[in-house]
Amino acid sequence: MAKPWATSGIDLHLEPTGGGVRRGLTDALREAVRTGRLAPGTRLPSSRALATDLGLARNTVADAYADLVAEGWLTARQGSGTRVSDRTVVPPAGAAGAAGAAGAAGAAGAVGAAPRPREPGRPTHNLAPGIPDLASFPRAEWLKAARRALATAPYQVLDYGDPRGRVELRTALAEYLSRARGVRADPDRILVCAGISHGLRLLGAVLRARGARTVAVESYGLDVHWKLLAAAGLRTVPLPFDERGTDPRELTDQDAVLLTPAHQFPMGGTLHRDRRSAVVEWARRTGGLVVEDDYDGEFRYDRQPVGALQGLDPDHVVHAGTASKSLAPGLRLGWLVLPPGLMEEVLAAKGDIDTCGALDQLTLAEFLTSGAYDRHVRAARLRYRRRRDALVAELARRAPRVHATGIAAGLHVVLRLPPGTEQPALRAAAWQGLAIHGLHRYQHPDAVVERRDALVVGYGTPPDHAWSGALEALCAVLPE
């Protein structure tokens, strides 16, 4: 039979000190509440359970609770138990410096004080690209899928898993990617990873282990990806860029190339079909590896869907996908569709362990096979298209000198500005509390490209109720 202390109530760590048992317990409870270790609203163990845990008489605990209720630290109601009262938390002494700094910052923003910059990362409106509308995450449908997945999952699911990922998810992804993106996928050649950055870290390690030295990249892209490759010991070499997208003619002795062919990030175009063929031909001729980042391939508005580059040559192209844009980045679920013979090397780089939670993988598998994923994507596509249309219409009315490009797909748009106006627009945006990025931020440091003044505007992030306000703030900082 289990010991009472092992099964009763919640765990509560207390170290009664001071004169007398009752006083020591009262002081320890008061200090835990005062410093925030017991958060407001926390339900405390019953007096019987806590007395058993601490080896005290029940009356001692009951009296300590009564003292703290009288002092206002706790509340006690019939049927609701004893809970921590709502009150201001005093930080412990070790945090005094941080608290003092925070207090000084707050004072600087008081009426009559000099204005201070807004807190980093806490803008009034966030139009940075790369994040979907998190408020529209399909919670109810996801919960249903999680319940169905958990109800039918064998208990072995909770053991250490296949380092490639759950077979249920790999099978569901193979069907979906083949149907929706034109990927030639087999479940045995799919590896589940914690997002595209994780997948790129694994591929970088594999390339370096093979003796690779350089990876060709696009002139515009994400510096985090270039840094991941650099951390693997690889040098990134930017390729030329023009109105037809990335130009592969300078692909020569590089060992691999990283592209966003379906929707170039951040410029927004689609890689021309002749250049798609040229990239594949280079890989076949040289044995080079093509890494295709298909980060938001589901979202297109004014054009037919562009199939995955991997469909042209599964033996030389790695297809990298993610649920970060279609669902939420916090899920940390991505996938690599690997060419034959590459799986063992990637698993070795991964450490032969599964890095994603089995229950989340099963939930996504259920979400895909039940059709809930398709329904969510279609609804999101309509919502984002309406936002894009409102943005384009408002620009035409209030900022006719600003030209929106790359608007046929995705969750962001590039706003071409008059020469010399990018930096003033960014400064005005910071003053307005508007998070927005300039195009220069995404230019590879070694790229030789024509200077373009532009803003990269993500219209996916704001929730629906905040979109009009975000659009108003954007137009206020643009050159009229």
CATH code of 257's domain: 3.40.640.10
Residue 121 is predicted with a pLDDT of: 46
Note whether 302 and 407 are within 8 A (CB).
yes
* Residue 119 burial (10 A CB sphere; 0-12, 13-18, 19+): exposed
Give the neighbor-by-neighbor strand order of the sheet with 289-293.
Answer: 190-193, 334-337, 317-322, 289-293, 256-259, 214-218, 235-239
3-state SS class at 265: coil
Does 212 lie in the same domain as 68? no
Span between the terminal Cα atoms of the chain, in Å: 77
Statement to judge: residues 291 and 329 lie in one domain: yes
Is residue 119 one of the residues assigned to a domain? Answer: no
Q: What is the domain extent for residue 345?
A: 137-371
What pTM, to 2 d.p., does this model score? 0.80
CA distances from 60 to 10, 29, 73 (A): 19, 13, 17
Last residue of a domain, one of 348, 371, 394: 371
Query: HSE of 414 in the Cβ direction (CA atoms, 13 Å)?
Result: 20
Query: What pLDDT does residue 88 have?
Result: 57
Q: Count the neighbouring beta carbons within 10 Å of the beta carbon of residue 377.
A: 15
Please give the pLDDT value at position 331. 95
Do 332 and 187 share a domain, yes or no? yes
Q: How far apart are CA 319 and CA 342, in angstroms?
A: 13
Domain tally, the chain: 3
Q: Are residues 286 and 367 in the same domain?
A: yes
Within-domain flag for 20: yes
| Residue 174 and residue 306 share a domain | yes
Q: Are residues 339 and 404 in the same domain?
A: no
Q: Evaluate whether residue 231 is within a structural domain.
A: yes
- Are residues 166 and 261 both part of a single domain? yes
E strand intervals along 307-459: 317-322, 334-337, 403-405, 412-416, 434-435, 437-438, 454-458
Q: What is the CATH number of the domain that holds 45?
A: 1.10.10.10
Question: Looking at residue 71, what is its pLDDT?
Answer: 85
DSSP letter at 465 equals G
Q: Rg of the Cα trace of the chain?
A: 28
Tokens read off for 324: 């970060």
Per-run averaged pLDDT (10 residues), the chain, 480 residues = 46 73 88 85 88 87 89 84 76 42 34 39 82 94 97 91 95 94 94 96 97 96 96 96 92 95 94 95 96 91 84 96 96 96 94 89 97 95 94 93 92 94 92 92 92 93 90 89
Domain match, 357 and 432 both: no
- Assess whether 303 and 190 both reside in one domain: yes
Instruction: With beta carbons less than 8 A apart as the criterion, state whether 177 and 337 touch.
Output: yes
* CATH of residue 386: 3.90.1150.10
Residue 10's pLDDT is 67
Is residue 163 domain-shared with residue 130, that is, in the same domain? no
Same domain as 185, residue 67: no
Domain match, 313 and 391 both: no
Residue 398 located in a structural domain: yes
